[in-house]
Each structure stands twice: as structure tokens, then as C-alpha cells.
A and B are shown apart, each in its own frame.
Chain A
């Protein structure tokens, strides 16, 4: 059978090849192709069974079918964990994901949103950087559909999918307490970010509910600019207190990885010398000689919900979706479970 060309389709409909090309490339709206004409072109393409290549897929939808995903830092394991889920769900719904990374900089965050909005992605999924409230408020005023994921600003009402960080941290702390730990250190970032502060709040409240004193020296705060050094200092400090700690609860997997590295260096054994619990798991843990007990965020569910919520918004449904999911505790041996 003779292979059809763009020209044949154009001739059949009675339009220029340029118009057919625009429709094929999902640029019908941008290039202001008349709606009826676009429809006739698409009908012809189907009728004539013309398939130039993969671009034909965008034919079915008249939009560019892209989701802009702005992550906080491409280096974060969490970012890559959730992106897997988002990509997979987007693919099922025939959307391509294009990324930007804000590197925790609110100016970069703003720039990326501009780029995506001006280039007409269909919607945005955002992991907002610290201090980006203004950008989020500006977005709300615009018409662009968006969903926040992982981090939220409690004073701004948006659609979001996040974890109940307070509950997860409370549960994990309680787990340590029930195993008999009495002087638990909690190592977190010095931050204004709500989701991280909630982890500290959960920790404190669990201690207080179980009538354990909260020694501020057991809550060192890490500056991300000086990560490795700060973590080492923090661990040194909590180990050398008059009444040293018997467990360390790290607020993120990155903090845990640095912590374990340092404990290795100091030849301190887990759980023999000290127990360790991590908020967030990591593949890296599996290289450690002791399986690390950690709370596990439902990343797949979060990613899936984010995509589906966004696409509902894109399709003009009126939504009010504020979801806080629960984390499970994956039990290893790092809290002395087998003793």
C-alpha cells in the first residue's frame, strides 16, 4: 500500500500542509487553527490511517499533554522516589512530565513556574521551596491548574497531597519509647518549612504524652549549608552529654545516611551501642550491616493522587482536595528489636 504523506492529508482536506502539521504536533491552539478545520483534519488523519510517527499520539488530545513538575532538589532521594510514581501515572493518562528543580531557592522556583506557565504546560505539580508563599498565592490568582505535593503552607488553601508528618513522627517516637528508649535525640534541619516542623512537633508531643522530659540538647538543628559537619557535631554532642542518648531519630533519610556514615567512622555499633530510627527510607540503607527501622511514606499513592487530582483540575472539575496520608513503620533491627 502506498505510504501516505502529510501532503496527501492536506490535499484531502483542502488545507495547507502547515495546518496539518500544526494539528499533528498538538499546536492547533497555539497556532490558532480554526476549531472546525482542526476537527476535519483529525478526522481525515484517522480515516486515511495516516501515522507519521510518535507525534501522532498527541493527535487524540488537542493540548500539548504535559505536566510541569517542579521538585525542590533533583538530588533528594525523596524527589526521585515520588517522580517514579508521577511518571508512571502520567504515562497511563498519556501525559509527558517535564521537570524543573528549584534547588530550594524561591527565585528559581518562581522562574520555573514562569517558564512552565508561559510555555503552556497543562498543569503543575509542585514541591514548593522554603519561602515561596508569594509564588503560590500568585499562582492561585492565575488560571493554571496546580497541586502541591509533600510540602504545604498551612495559611494558604490549595489542593495538596501530603503526609501527616505530625502523626507519622509521633508514631515513630512512640515506637522507640515502647521499645524502652528513654533519652531519644531528634536530629532535624533548622527550618521554617511546615512539613519538617511537624515532625519535630510529633516527636515532642509523643515524649510529653509519655511523660518523658524534653531536653533541648537532644534536639540539635542542622544547617543544610553545612550538612556533613553539622551532623557530625550534633552526633558528637548528643553522645557526650552527661546523660547521653540511647537512640537517635533522624528527621530525613539524607540526615540518616550522613549520620550512619559518621557512626561507622566512630565505630559505634547499631543497635548495640545506640538505636537508630529514620523518617523516610532509602535504598542506601540496605548496604548497612543492620536493617534500618524507618517510617515509610506512601510515595506511590502520593504520586498517583497528585497526577489524578491535577488532571481532574485540568479537565475543569471543581476540586477541593487536601489529603494527608499516613506513613507505615518498616521494622528493621536498628532499634534493638531482636534483643
Chain B
């Protein structure tokens, strides 16, 4: 079949190529194309079965109007909200978003990276899964603009959006102390990831500042490969007689939800028997019988800022440094608050 192009359609309708292009790109309202004309263009396109070749377009402008995201795990609440925010922001600038999930695996991260570059994205937003700069060198060698989110690597030659993990963890721990808990436990993953290590540092500093001795028995670090078992045996260990903790700080919403499930199962009453605070918010919390006290990362803002930063980078490639956004702390009733 004869492949029809923009020029043919414009000629056929007796209008300018620009007008046809606007309708094709969904810009008719912006560019004030009359709805009758837009309708005619759409009809013609349908009739001629025109399919705009994105790559042909991109050869002209050298851009494909697509942004790639590499997320750490598509099942994290963090991911769903940040990606949603990125998509919304990208829509304002006419960018489409595609993404892949590395599942916290450095090899998978690289595979996704290769696929996205192969798919000719204009830029990348990445949530890294490694602390060493290997992946950064890979990204740089591909000469593609990229913004790093959430986990902060060393180096001032990068563009990063993050939060102050240590500070929010400090607040969470301090809150447990202030609400009368003296044996405050910590539940996290066994990990080298910087953002989680920062949360541990916040916990430690908060206890030190309150003159509370750090008890290693109250620090539980779970192997994520054995997640449910890890959480359950962690809770068992913490509430064992003699070692009993009276408050627990969970460094992620996933851990918090699994732990609360188990506490429910065992009939352990919150906040009467144990107070709890979660670093992150979960959509499951409102189903619990008391509002859960938790931190709240500025997820929407993280997405928006990341996009703005990336678009600047795509325009002119000077690193933007680390933008640290503020989190908030939501007081519930899970620590026995009045």
C-alpha cells in the first residue's frame, strides 16, 4: 500500500502541514485548531491509515520525546507514586514515559538500561541498586542525560533528587522516645544501600541524643530473600520475655505492614503492648484499628523535580547537584499518643 504522509493529507484537506501535525500530536487545543478541522484531519488519517513513524520524526529533531525510568521494584509504594508524578509532569511537556524494574538487582539494572537506550529514550531517571559507581560509569559512557533518585552516590558531578533519610529516621525514633518508650527497636533489611544505612544512623543518633544505650538485640536486619520468616522471627525475638521492646521503628512500609500483620495474628496490642512508627506511609494503614504514626516522603515532588531536572539536562548537560527535599511526619495513635 502506498504510504501516505503529512503532506498528502494536508493537500487533500486544503490545509497547512502544520495544522495536520498539531492534530496528530494532540496539540490542537493549544494551537487553536477548530474542532471541525481537527475532526476532518482525524477522519482523513483514519481513512488513509496513516501511522506517524516516531523514529522518522526523531531523525529530524533527534529526539523521541520519551523518558525511561529504572525503578528499584515496581511493587514498592514509593515506585507507584513517584512514577505517577513523573508521568503527570512529563505529560505537560509532551513526553511519554516507559520504565523497567530492576528488583534491586545490579545485573537486571544494566539489562533494563540497555533496553531503554536501545529504545532511544531521550533521558533517564534511575533509582540505583548499587553503591559502587560502576553503574554511573555505564550511564556516563552511553552519553545519555540522567537523574538519580532516592539513593545518593558519592560525587558532585551528578544530578540527584533525594530526601534526608537520616533526619526523618531521627524524627521517627525521637517520637517513640518522647511518647515514653525506652526500649526502642529497629527493623530494617541487611543492606549496603545508602538510604537505608542513613535511616539506621538516624535511629542510632536519636537514641544517643536521648542518652539511651544502643542494644544490639533490638536491632533486627532482615534478609529480604526470606522476608516473611525474617519479619516474623524478628518480632518474636523482640517481644521475647526479658528482652521485650516497647517500641519499634520500621524503616520501610513493606516491613511495617508485614510486622503489623504478624502482631495482629499473635494478638499483640498496639499501642498498649508495643508502640510502632513506620518511616514510610502505606495504603494499608487506614485499615488498622489505630492510625499509624509514620513519615511521609514528598513523593509527588520527587517525581516533579526529577523531571524538571532531567529536561534541563537534556537541553544543556551541566550537572545539577543534589536537591534534598523535605519530608513530613504524620502523628497517629500507634505510639499511645493522646
Residues in A lying within 8 Å of B, measured CB to CB: 25-27, 53-55, 57-58, 64, 66, 68, 74-75, 80, 83-84, 87, 96-101, 103, 107-108, 111-112, 114-116, 118-119, 121, 141-142, 257, 260-261, 264, 282-289
Contacts and interface: CB of A to CB of B under 8 A. Distances in A.
Contact of A289 (B87, B98, B100, B289): B289
A80 B103 CA distance: 13
A118 B55 CA distance: 7
A74 B100 contact: no
Interface string B27-66: 0000000000000000000000101111100000000001
Interface in B48-95: 49, 51-55, 66, 74-75, 79-81, 83-84, 87, 91
B117 to A, nearest CB: 9
A39 B282 CA distance: 51
Nearest to A81: B75
From B66, B75, B91, B287, residue with most partner A Cβ within 10 Å: B287
B115 A66 contact: yes
B114 A55 contact: yes
Top 9 A-B pairs ranked by shortest CB distance?
A284-B284, A119-B119, A118-B54, A261-B286, A286-B261, A287-B287, A288-B287, A287-B288, A287-B284
B49 A285 contact: no
A261 B283 CA distance: 10
Contacts of B301: none
Contacts of B257: 283-284, 286-287
B64 to A, nearest CB: 8
B152 interface: no
A138 B215 CA distance: 64
Contact of A99 (B54, B101, B282, B287): B101
Contacts of A111: 96
B233 interface: no
B90 to A, nearest CB: 11
Given A97-B100, A103-B84, A282-B284, 13 more contacts: A74-B74, A97-B101, A100-B96, A100-B97, A108-B96, A114-B54, A115-B54, A115-B98, A257-B284, A286-B257, A286-B261, A287-B257, A287-B261
Interface stretch (B3-11, B105-113, B218-226): B105-113
A273 to B, nearest CB: 15
Contact of B75 (A55, A84, A97, A141): A84
Contacts of B131: none
B99 A98 contact: yes
Given A26-B118, A27-B118, A74-B83, A115 B66 contact: yes
Of B49, B283, B288, chain A has the most CB atoms within 10 Å of the CB of B283
B110 A53 contact: yes
Interface centre among B55, B84, B118 (most CB of A within 10 A): B118
A98 B100 contact: yes
Contacts of B74: 74, 80, 83, 99
A64 B118 contact: yes
20 contacts: A25-B114, A26-B118, A74-B80, A84-B75, A87-B101, A87-B103, A99-B101, A101-B97, A103-B87, A108-B96, A114-B52, A116-B98, A119-B54, A257-B286, A261-B286, A283-B257, A284-B283, A286-B264, A287-B261, A287-B285
A284 B257 CA distance: 8
B116 interface: yes
A96 B80 contact: no
A72 to B, nearest CB: 13
Given A74-B84, A80-B74, A25 B118 contact: yes
A272 to B, nearest CB: 14
Contacts of B96: 100, 108, 111-112, 115
Contacts of A74: 74, 79-80, 83-84
A99 B120 contact: no
A101 B112 CA distance: 17
Given A101-B87, A283-B284, A286-B261, A112 B98 contact: yes
B264 A64 contact: no
B321 interface: no
A140 to B, nearest CB: 12
B287 A107 contact: no
Contacts of B286: 257, 261, 264
A54 B84 contact: no
A115 B54 CA distance: 7
Contacts of B51: 114, 142
A260 B285 CA distance: 11
Contacts of B75: 80, 83-84
A99 B66 CA distance: 13
Interface in B150-186: none
Nearest to B291: A264
A111 B95 CA distance: 10
Contacts of B187: none
Contacts of B307: none
Nearest to B107: A54
A75 B49 CA distance: 34
A65 B286 CA distance: 41
Nearest to A134: B46
Contacts of A116: 98
Nearest to A110: B26
